[in-house]
A and B are shown apart, each in its own frame.
Chain A
Amino acid sequence: MNIVVCVKQVPDPEGKITVEKGTNAIQSSDLRYVINPLDLVAVEEALRIKERDIQSRVTVISLGPRSAKKALRQALSLGCDDAFLLCDPAFDNGDNYATALALAKAVRLVPHDLVLCGERADDTQAGQVGTHVAQMLGIPLVRRAVKVHVDFGSKRIRIHSKLQKGDREQVECTLPVLITVESGLNNLRYPTLRAIVKAKRQTIRGLDARRLELPPRKLGIPGSKTEIIRLAGPMPKMKGLLIPDSSLSPAERLKMIAGGGITQRKSNELEGDPVKVASQLVQLFKRQKIIPG
C-alpha cells in the first residue's frame, strides 16, 4: 500500500509570536520551527499502517522554504521511505488553495492509496488544505479521524471520525481516500539515534513549479483565493455575557454588564442557604442553555 503524508513546518506552538510593526509578517528571527503536531500524528499513523503491511511505502511531502528539509529529515528518521520538498519562490505566501494545488500535483507524481494530512496546521488553523487536495485529486475525504483501520485485502478502510461531545461517526470507504487526522489517534514514537544518522544520508527530492508543471499565475499570491490584508496581535478575549443574577442590585447588574466579562471575569457571588443556592445555580444553567427548561 502506498501512503502519502503531507506535512507542514510551523513555528513552535509553545513559542512566542510577535507581529512585526507595520508589516503583515510575524517576527521570524528567533522562532523555532517544528513539524505541525497533527501532521506528526499523520506520519505516525502511516508508519503504523506500514508496520502491518511490510510492502507499504510511506512518502512524505512538504511545501515550504529550504529549511523545511529539517521537518522532512525528521519524518525520514521516524521511518518514512521517501521525501519531497516543494520549494520555489513562486509558492511563497500562497493560501490554502494555492498550496493545495501544488501539493495535489506532487501527490499525483507518486502512487497513492491513502493520503494523510493533519486536520489543521497550528499556525493558520484553517484546516482546509486537506479538503482542497482531496477535491483536486478527485478522491473521497474523511475528516477528523481518531481511529483508522485498513483492510489490505479488500482495500477498504474504516475510520472513526470525531464529532462533538466525544461522539464518533463510524465510516467506511474504498481506497484511495484522503484522511485528515485529529489528536488522540495514536501515540508518537521517537526516532532512534541510528535512524537519525541514516536519515541524514537519505535524499530529499526537490520539486519546483516547473517540475510540477504549474504556471506561476496559479501559485503563491496570484494563485490564491484569499489574501491576508492585516496581521495583528491577539483579539481581546470574547467572553459570553452572563445575565446577572436578579438578586443583585440594579447598580451591580449594570456594573457587571458594563464589565462585559470581556477582558476580566466579574464574578457573581452566591452564599447562604444551600437549597436556595442550588436553585439559583439550576436557574443559571437553564439561562445558559446548559440544561433544558
Chain B
Amino acid sequence: MNPEDQIREMNLPTGPSKGVWVLVAHRDGDLADGSLELLGEGRVVADRMNEVLTAVILGTLPDERVTRLAHFGADRILFVEHPALDEGFVESHTQVLWRVIEKQAPSVVLSINSIDSEDLVTRVAARLETGVVTCCDKVAVSGGLLQQTRPVYGGRASATFICPAARPQMATFNPDALELKLPDKTRTANVKRVRIDVELDKPQILSLGLIKGDPRTIPLTEAEIIVDGGRGLGSREGFKLVEELADVVGGSVGATRMAVDEGWTTSERQIGQTGRTVKPKLIMACGVSGALQHTMGMKEAKLIVAINPDRNAPIFSVADVTVVGDALQLLPILTAQLREVLAQNPEPTVNYVVGVFHDSGGGKGASQ
C-alpha cells in the first residue's frame, strides 16, 4: 500500500481538502433515482469551485452504469471496498465512509436525502465533527464556500447555510428539487478502487430483519401511492373498485369524510382537515368532488390524477391530470390494464440505498 493510501489518524492536521464528492446510492446494480440528477448538481458545484468531481460508490457497480456516471459529469469514480459493506449495517457503512473521507479529504460531499443515505451521512458528519445540511433544495458556490438552502419552520421559511471551517462541507438533497441534466456521451472518467483494510468496530445494533409494510394497513402518511375514493362512487360496491385498484398497484386506500361517514371504509383512511395530511408520489382521486376540507390534506402530492364526471368539479383545480368521466366505468378498465402490465414486470417496488442495507426484498440487508 502506498503511503497516500494509508489511513490518516484522526486529529492529525489535515492538508487542504480537495474535490467534490457525490455519493451514489445503488441496489442490485441499479442507480438510485436522483443519482444522475445529483451528479449534474455536483458537476455545477465542481466547476464553480474548479475542482474534480468524484462519484463515490460503496461496493461495486456494473460497467455500463459506470459509463453513465461519466456521461452525467463524474471525472473520477471511486469504488470503496470493504467486506463489511455486504453485511448491510449502517454502523459499518458509517465507519467505512468516515475512514475513506478522512483519508482522501474531499472538500464537499453531496448525497441524496433518502432515509438510508441521510442516516449514513449524518452519522459520518458526526464522526468527522463537521457540518451537514440535510434536505437541501438548492446549493450555490460563493467565495469558494458551498451555500446550502433548505426549508425550515415546516416550509414556512428557508435558510441558507455555510460551513466555514470544518471539512468536508456536506449536504443531502431533496430528490424532488433536482433536475436531470443532459448527458455528455464523450465524457470519460478515471476509475479507482480503494480497499479499506481495517477491522471495524462490531456493530452494536443488531438487525432482526425487515417488516415489509402492507399498503393496506400502513399509516396513510407513509403511503407512496394512494387511491382516494369519494361520494361519487355511490356505494360500498363502488368503493371496492378503489380498493381493487389500490391492491393492484400496491397502493393504499384513502377516502373523503363522506365515504367514511357512509361506512365504506374506516376512519384512519380519511384524508383532509379532520383526517390525515398526505404527500404521496401519486394520488388518484376517484369520485372526489374536491371540497377544501379534503384537498388541503392531499394537494401536496407529487402527482394528482382526478376522475370526475363534472368538468367544473373543484378537485380539477388541484389536479395535474384530470379525467372527465365516470370513475365507476374507468376504474375496472384501468385496474385490468395495470394488472396486465404489472404481470409482465413482477417487481414493482425497489428501495435504493447507499451500499446495500435495508434491502426490502428480504435479501442480505435484512440479515440476522
Contacts and interface: CB of A to CB of B under 8 A. Distances in A.
A284 B321 contact: yes
A55 interface: no
A35 B222 CA distance: 24
Point out which of B156, B281, B322 has the most chain A C-beta atoms below 10 A from its C-beta: B156
B191 to A, nearest CB: 28
Contacts of A247: none
B151 A125 contact: yes
A229 B344 contact: no
A165 B337 contact: no
B334 A282 contact: yes
A170 B208 contact: yes
B154 A125 contact: yes
Nearest to A168: B211
B138 interface: yes
Q: Looking at chain B's contact residues, is the secondary structure mostly helix, strand, loop, or mixed?
A: mixed
Contacts, number: 252
B334 A278 contact: yes
Point out which of A136, A169, A238 has the most chain B C-beta atoms below 10 A from its C-beta: A169
Interface residues of B, number: 95
B137 A238 contact: yes
Nearest to A270: B323
A180 to B, nearest CB: 10
B322 A270 contact: yes
B360 A163 contact: yes
A268 B322 contact: yes
Contacts of B320: 242, 261, 265, 267-268
A242 B301 CA distance: 13
B338 A282 contact: yes
A227 B161 contact: yes
Q: Looking at chain A's contact residues, is the secondary structure mostly helix, strand, loop, or mixed?
A: mixed
Contact of A269 (B177, B282, B324, B329): B324
Contact of B215 (A166, A170, A172, A268): A166
A261 B204 CA distance: 46
A291 B158 contact: no
Given A167-B360, A170-B207, A267-B319, A234 B337 contact: no
Nearest to B318: A265
Nearest to B127: A135
B119 interface: yes
A164 interface: yes
A274 B307 CA distance: 11
26 contacts: A97-B131, A128-B125, A128-B134, A131-B123, A141-B205, A163-B360, A164-B114, A165-B222, A165-B223, A167-B211, A168-B213, A171-B206, A225-B165, A226-B162, A229-B147, A229-B162, A232-B160, A265-B318, A270-B325, A275-B333, A282-B337, A282-B341, A284-B305, A288-B303, A290-B282, A293-B341
- A-B pairs, top 10 by smallest CB distance, nearest first, are A166-B213, A166-B218, A225-B131, A226-B131, A135-B126, A17-B156, A292-B345, A230-B160, A140-B204, A170-B208
